[in-house]
Amino acid sequence: MKRWIEETFHPHWRVGMEAEKILHEEKTEHQHLIIFENQVWGTVLILDGVFQLTTLDEFIYHEMMAHVPLMVLERPRRVLIVGGGDGGVLREVLKHPSVEKATLCEIDRTVIDQSLKYYPQVSAGAFDNPRAEIVIADGLKYVAETTEKFDAIIVDSSEPIGPSAVLHTKEFFSDCKRALKPGGILVTQNGLPFLCPEPFMNTTRIFAELFERCAPYFCTQPCYFGGEFALNWGSDDPSHLDISVEKLARRQKSRGIQTRYWTPALHVASFALPAYAEEMVRKAVSEGRGKKTSKPAAKTAAAKPQKAKAK
């Protein structure tokens, strides 16, 4: 029997997908998990009433989470993924041949197990890769206690509710910064700023306080209904944001990485924000750094695609 599954995260509006077949549903120790099939979207994962993944468009999110930070690093060797139990970000991280170890810290083993059972094409064997280390633990606790140092930390969390709420706090992000190598990059998902501005602005404030450079960037993720989808970037090395389209293209070629969404030109253009978002970033950065004003990274990055186009 067909059933409609609604996203219940937003208090004043809802969207839904038709579930032609429920593949799995349970209340785990940490969250309510539903996996179902939809004729258009393929296999769909929803956690605590929020759409997390569809096999139709998952490549967009996973490529932008992984390749935007890793392509600017000359030789990323150690990467930490917090969350990401579906294995998509891990899959993309392991495409970089210099990565010696990719640690995935997931709080809910059920997410990994059911992902492997119902949509193994998303991880594409990444969990069995000898360079992958899988840790079942609370990400907040893991980052606070680890003695390892990482070139990049990618926070593939869900929305700031349930077990993921702590992964949007200053305490967590501060510990992430401590676990980064000098010049390392922290990237986190940051929701839909057009309809849900506060989580986006809150993370931007925190990143502006913690890092020399805070640089939100956008992508278009069809299954995340409500406008552009935001990711946020923090690093103490501003030069990472000055990388050219040409240099990114050379790195992509030398690493032999094939993508379906990420491109060198899109990478640079993703930091060019619409005016409403620029204003939000400007305000949040100013608040994060007290009275110290800071120009949003989008102002610097926005000029790059024009230069490349004129070549």
86 a catalytic residue: no
The distance of Cα 168 from the centroid of its chain, to the nearest Å, equals 12
* Under 8 Å between Cβ of 37 and 44: yes
Supply φ then ψ for residue 163, to 5 degrees: -70, -15
Q: Which of 57, 86, 156, 175 is catalytic?
A: 156
Torsion of CA 282, 164, 116, 220, to 10 degrees: -20
* Under 8 Å between Cβ of 153 and 232: no
Query: Which of 257, 252, 260 shows the shortest CA–CA distance to 61?
Result: 260
* Under 8 Å between Cβ of 123 and 114: no
How many whole angstroms separate alpha carbon 51 and alpha carbon 74? 34
- Residues with active-site annotation: 156
